[in-house]
Chains A and B, each alone.
Chain A
């Protein structure tokens, strides 16, 4: 990773290729042109490059998008992208700032600190951008700020997908390997005609289209378990008629229906309709037990969060122009 931005060689090669093909004046270029350049000049094949382009430009992958993507680049639901001949790419304002920083035209910008490496299979989780910048600014004001205060300022890891994080946070911030549970953000909607849990945020890397079928599979399994306990074990084989009969039975956990209402307009929205009178707290606990509503991730801040933040503050102290420009962009 570079000291100036925290980005790796693959990300920087992609940014350079976008800059070389789309320019820096707000123009876009066809993705195929960028991929051709990436292979010819940087030696990185289009199959690898395309996934990095998607990552760096998607709000469900990273907090700070370095690219501005036009056309169908997939979605949080896990939809397939259009072919690169049908999409376009350009640098975002943050992407332009990153290249300016790498070219020493502005001071360091802690992109790697904010976006982490979890989105690309790494261990460092993402942080809330505003809190990260405020914490570094606080260290610039007072470099003796204790680690405990830094941890309170930085808060919990923050997922661009809106999911929640719990687990071994103490181990994580102490620089040890930590098992974290990423889970969905779930609210309750209770009206005279609806008793429902609504998922509006998900773990990082989980396509929302995986959640509805898995909830249904688990709900069906609960019914089958109940029937086994009642002595109705379908050891003779599950005929379509038996499955229809099972489907019509009330759910032992109070789950009536699951509707995926995720769209570009509403964002992530999965509605879990409960039976009237069902205990929503019990149902929510059950829902959270389903994979990938909650997933486990192994995370680490090498050296500890205090050490990582102090390193960034030390770099930014030399020239805080990059930090100030990034703060202006995200405000």
Chain B
């Protein structure tokens, strides 16, 4: 058997994949029907920030929780809508990394950012 040690990654390509994964997660959820606003570090990153986000923060209104729950289930993240609505702020993990979901009465002021043919609603602050 011929083995090659490949555990020293010299290229930065995988580092950029890590940096972009919260954005990719937002895109996946929106493509699957979630209606959410990207907030927090990912919002800053999408608006040109220099520090890549540790996780994805999403704000959602209660009527849109079932759509988010359905989208999450499609990517292997399982939580009940009733649980999200009761807890209001929940930390989850996915194959794209951690995400925090905030169930809000009203959503923050936001604009639109296009990523990979997907329109993301991104908070201004």
Residue ranges of A at the interface with B (Cβ–Cβ < 8 Å): 164, 179, 181, 183, 185-191, 197, 201, 213-215, 217-218, 221, 224-225, 228-229, 233, 238, 280-281, 284-286, 288-292, 294-296
Q: Is the CB of B9 within 8 A of A218?
A: no
Most buried by A among B1, B15, B54, B93: B15
CB-CB under 8 A from B119, the residues of chain A are none
Q: A183-B9, A284-B6, A291-B94 are in contact. List 6 more A-B contacts (CB 8 A).
A: A164-B7, A185-B7, A187-B5, A188-B6, A190-B4, A281-B6
Q: Is the CB of A189 within 8 A of B96?
A: no
Q: Is the CB of B9 within 8 A of A181?
A: no
CB-CB under 8 A from A197, the residues of chain B are 6
Q: How far is the CA of A122 from the CA of B15 in the complex (A)?
A: 24
Q: How far is the CA of A68 from the CA of B97 in the complex (A)?
A: 34
CB-CB under 8 A from A290, the residues of chain B are 95-96
Number of A-B contacts (CB under 8 A): 88
Which of B1, B5, B28, B93 lies in contact with A221, CB distance below 8 A? B28
Q: How far is the CA of A243 from the CA of B6 in the complex (A)?
A: 33
Shortest beta-carbon distance from B58 to chain A in Å: 16
A–B Cβ pairs within 8 angstroms, 5 of them = A186-B7, A190-B2, A225-B31, A281-B11, A295-B97
CB-CB under 8 A from A221, the residues of chain B are 28, 75, 95
Which of A181, A186, A189 lies in contact with B1, CB distance below 8 A? A189
Q: Is the CB of B75 within 8 A of A217?
A: yes
Shortest beta-carbon distance from A268 to chain B in Å: 13
Q: Is the CB of A285 within 8 A of B1?
A: no
Interface majority SS (helix, strand, loop, mixed), chain B:
mixed
Q: Is the CB of A288 within 8 A of B9?
A: yes
Q: Is the CB of B6 within 8 A of A291?
A: no
Q: How far is the CA of A181 from the CA of B31 in the complex (A)?
A: 28
CB-CB under 8 A from A224, the residues of chain B are 31
Q: Is the CB of B93 within 8 A of A291?
A: yes
Q: How far is the CA of A280 from the CA of B11 in the complex (A)?
A: 13
Residue-wise, chain B 64-102 has the 8 Å CB interface mask toward A (1 for contact) of 000000000011100000000000000001111110000
Q: Is the CB of A229 within 8 A of B117?
A: yes
CB-CB under 8 A from A285, the residues of chain B are 9, 11, 13-14, 17
Shortest beta-carbon distance from A199 to chain B in Å: 9
